[in-house]
Amino acid sequence: MTVHWLAEVADVRVHRETKQRPIDRHAEEKPHLIPLPATPYEVAPVEYRVVNVEGFIVYQQNSYSVPWRHIGLALPVRVTEIELIVYGPGIDEIARHRLFPRGQTGQRSEQAAHRPVADLRQQQNLLQERFAELGPIAARFFEGLRAAQRHSKEQGFKILALQSSYARADLLAALERAVRFGAYSLGAIERILAAQAKPQSVLDALAEQERRRLPAHLRDNPVSPRPTTEYGHLVEEATDHASPPETPADPADEKPNDDTTGRSA
């Protein structure tokens, strides 16, 4: 219908301003038009979502899996007309899903590669690495959790997921207090945080992640400021080459004009 309207109506009627038919005007301008880009312009929105304790991000009330090692992190999500793409902290693609149609809710898109490995030892090793990334206090807490709790793995994941709800400093303070009193459990951490900390927003969690990554980027190519003494010769050169200011002429030194010479007062 639209194609027919363009061809039979819009393109063949005389335009009020140009006094020409659009189809004739287009023929004149066509040699001067530049080709369209080889790839379409990207207009897909990018949002941030927190990976929940089950290893999913939620978009429009549907769940999409990501590799489970990212539990508790706020990750960028790009949404096209047909796909949902999740990126890791380094902006590398870590998951891609077919987008559920608008209007469908409560659906899950899960990929087997995103689930925990079957080897329990590997799961424990990965958890140990994630707690070690938080620092020595967190590593000590995880060792105590493993010794004190039968379901330490499940509790460990849930504690890592608390990073999305509380600031890193608050979580570390709760872990340190739990270690001090030997309270190695998820419940103890939740009670300490509820009493001493305030939940943060997704944007706050994202900003904190970026602040932690920033020092590493700065160390990649450190450039220290130069001392000001290195610029001293530039000031000296500018002074040496500067032209001396002109001295105003003394009116008494000016010679009289020829036409006034010899005239009496």
> Domain 46-114 maps to which CATH number in 2.30.30, 3.30.460, 1.10.260, 1.10.3470?
2.30.30
Q: What is residue 265's predicted lDDT score, i.e. its pLDDT?
A: 39
Q: What is residue 257's predicted lDDT score, i.e. its pLDDT?
A: 55
SS3 string of 8-28?
Answer: HHHCCCCCCCCCCCHHHHHHH
pLDDT over 80 (residue 95): yes
Q: Where are the alpha helices (DSSP H) in the chain?
A: 2-5, 22-29, 120-134, 136-148, 152-161, 168-181, 186-196, 202-220, 232-240
Q: What is residue 245's predicted lDDT score, i.e. its pLDDT?
A: 57
So where are the chain's domains?
46-114, 120-218
Q: What is residue 246's predicted lDDT score, i.e. its pLDDT?
A: 59
Structure pTM? 0.59
Of residues 66, 72, 60, the one with CA closest to residue 106: 60
Q: Round the CA-based radius of gyration of the chain to a whole number and report it.
A: 36
Question: What does the alpha-carbon distance between residue 105 and residue 49 come to, in Å, rounded to a whole number?
Answer: 17
Question: What does the alpha-carbon distance between residue 49 and residue 243 come to, in Å, rounded to a whole number?
Answer: 64
Comparing 53-62, 141-150, 176-185, 210-219, which segment has the lowest mean pLDDT? 210-219
pLDDT tens figures, 173-224: 999 999 999 999 999 999 999 999 998 876 776 676 666 666 555 555 666 6
List of residues 6+ apart from 44 with CB closer than 8 A: 78, 79, 80
